[in-house]
């Protein structure tokens, strides 16, 4: 079931919360005490600047979880970036030991023009990053032939323009051929995340926040 109404942001997958919070000075947390740069994750400094002061959340899918991922709100995916890279494990050993792990691993960055957010175009884009990992055969999309873990692959950027597909809230847009990670970036001043401590289980369609221009992120601090 998909919780709430069109103003409700929902979990894009089954899994567990990772680090989440505000994007400050171009950085976000990989784990407590270890930050990395949004520009490295997206591979695009101009795009990264649009999320300064916004919010981020990381969601982990374990091997036992449902491997498909969905949209947190309705919208159109207007751009896809494929970044070839490493396939480091995304477990606690990898997160603690590998700097900027999510920015080094294979990944597909999808930009969702979210229908419920104020503004238009880049002003209301939610970035959804599907990150590959050890033993992840590939990341695949339901609406395009772009896939990861291809020998000799080069970075690929696709501006979808008029071909941009529309998705309802909670609709599937891709899947892992094993468990891995989804990173979500929200533009500043447009949404409230109800952040939970790392490791808290979550299910696809569960409410994780609301669309609003008047809220700040709620952080549940843990030691």
Active site residues: 14, 70, 180
Question: Which pair of structure tokens corresponds to residue 11?
Answer: 């979990």
13 - beta bridge partners? none
Give CB contacts under 8 A, 24+ apart, made by 36-41.
36/99, 36/100, 36/101, 36/102, 36/103, 37/100, 37/103, 38/185, 40/100, 40/103, 41/100, 41/102, 41/103, 41/107, 41/109, 41/129, 41/183
DSSP classification of residue 71: -
Per the CB < 8 A criterion, the answer to whether 156 and 82 are in contact is: yes
Dihedrals phi, psi of 39, to nearest 5 degrees: -60, -30
R_g of the chain, CA atoms, integer Å? 16
């Amino acid at each position: 079931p998909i919780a709430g109404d069109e103003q409700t942001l929902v979990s894009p997958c089954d899994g567990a919360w990772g680090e989440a919070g505000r994007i400050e000075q171009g950085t976000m947390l990989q784990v407590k005490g270890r930050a990395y740069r949004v520009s490295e994750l997206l591979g695009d400094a101009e795009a990264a600047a649009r999320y300064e002061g916004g919010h981020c959340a990381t969601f982990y899918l374990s091997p036992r979880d449902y491997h498909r991922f969905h949209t947190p709100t309705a919208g159109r995916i207007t751009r896809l970036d494929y970044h070839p890279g490493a396939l480091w494990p995304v477990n606690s050993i990898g997160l603690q030991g590998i700097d900027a792990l999510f920015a080094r691993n294979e990944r597909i960055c999808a930009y969702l023009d979210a229908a419920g957010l104020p503004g238009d175009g880049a002003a209301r884009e939610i970035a959804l990053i599907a990150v590959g990992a050890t033993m992840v055969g590939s990341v695949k999309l339901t609406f395009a032939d772009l896939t990861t873990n291809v020998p000799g692959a080069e970075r690929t950027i696709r501006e979808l323009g008029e071909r941009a597909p529309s998705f309802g809230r909670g609709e599937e847009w891709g899947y892992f051929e094993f468990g891995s990670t989804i990173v979500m970036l929200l533009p500043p001043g447009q949404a409230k995340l109800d952040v939970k401590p790392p490791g808290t289980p979550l299910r696809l369609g569960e409410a994780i926040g609301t669309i609003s221009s008047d809220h700040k992120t709620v952080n549940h601090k843990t030691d």
